[in-house]
Structure formats: structure tokens, C-alpha cells
Amino acid sequence: MANREALRELQSRLAERLQAARSQGVQASWLAVEAGGANYLFPLAQSGEIFPLAPLQPVPYTRPWFLGVANLRGGVWGVVDLAACLRDERPQPRSDFARAQTRLVTLNPVLEVNCALLIDRLAGLRSLEAFTASDAAPAGSPDCFGSVYTDSQGARWQEINLQAMSQQPQFLSISV
């Protein structure tokens, strides 16, 4: 019970900070998330709302990483397991504890793609000042990968251009 309330408080604080960052300027540049054991940065301008995992309606004959559709605020959103999609593999099973931390992050409506990304955990908002170094995207990485940033603890964070990802043919082609 306490964990659930703590998660709700964290989500509420993140939503407030996200809204404040959008209205006040460029204090925070990214929404930091974890998925499949990796750290990712979503540009705030391309990120949408954050939701707890909603009931999913499976869609037959789709790629394994396309989990189905969900009703989010009365709209139908396709749900993609981010880690599985980036690796083009089946999603890994999650424990009940891990499922409790998962969230859906929608793409900003301006991208005109009704898609929500399933992530393992929210890690907060990040600005450029939170990082000590940056490198170019690794060779052979997807086109949507931006720079890799290193924080003061040595953790590496891969920036993902959600707009570029949402336009990639392999992302748009969910059928098998």
C-alpha cells in the first residue's frame, strides 16, 4: 500500500514538474525513463502524458512488441513495449512488483501518432546540467537515437528522438 502511494506521489510530482517545465521554459529538456535495463531520455516537446498501465486489448497478427490497444482518457492508443521494439524481440516477462512500476508514456499529440510506450520505470526530469559528458549515438544504432549522455554517477542515458522513431517504417509496420 505504501509503495503504491509513493508511486502515485512520484507520478504526480513528475506530472507537475513536466507541466511547469513546459510552461516556464527550458529548465528540463528530457523525461528520463528506464526500459529493458537501459536508460533513455525522451525530449519533453515530443513526450505526452504519463499513465499507469491500463488494461490492454490484444491485436492479432502484430509484432510481439506491439502489446495491443488501450483506452487512455477516452482515446484508443496503440501500446508498444519500448525495450522489445528497439531490439525487435518479444517482451520480457515482468514480476508483479516490476509491473507495478511500469508506465505508459504517450507521444505528444503534435506527432499525430496515437502511441503509448511501455517503460519499466520513470526516472524523473533531466536537464543538460545533469550530465557530465556526451557522445554521438553508437555506430549502427537506430536513426532515432541521439546523443548518449553520462551523468555524475557514470550512468549512460540514450536520447531517443520520438518524432523520428514514430516515422520509421519498422515502427509504423506493426503487422507480421
pLDDT tens per residue, range 15-58: 776 666 556 555 679 999 999 999 999 999 999 999 999 999 99
Give the gyration radius of the chain's Cα atoms: 16
User: What pLDDT digit, counting tens, does each position of 92-101 carry?
Assistant: 888 888 888 9
Question: Can you give the pLDDT at residue 52?
Answer: 95
Residue 84 pLDDT exceeds 80: yes
The whole-chain average pLDDT of the chain stands at 90
Distance CA 159, CA 151 (A): 13
Question: Can you give the pLDDT at residue 131?
Answer: 95
Distance CA 85, CA 94 (A): 16
Contacts of 63 (CB under 8 A, 6+ apart): 85, 88, 174, 175, 176
The residue that leads in pLDDT, 118 or 9, is 118
Residue 151's closest CA among 20, 25, 47, 30? Answer: 30
Distance CA 107, CA 115 (A): 6
Residue 72's closest CA among 37, 41, 30, 103? Answer: 103
| Cell numbers describing residue 81 | 513495449
Distance CA 139, CA 47 (A): 25
| Cell numbers describing residue 68 | 495491443
| pTM score of the predicted model | 0.83
**How many Cβ atoms from other residues are within 10 Å of residue 17's Cβ?**
15
Q: Cβ distance 160 to 35 under 8 Å?
A: no
Q: Cβ distance 79 to 56 under 8 Å?
A: yes
* Pairing state between β 156-160 and 66-72: unpaired
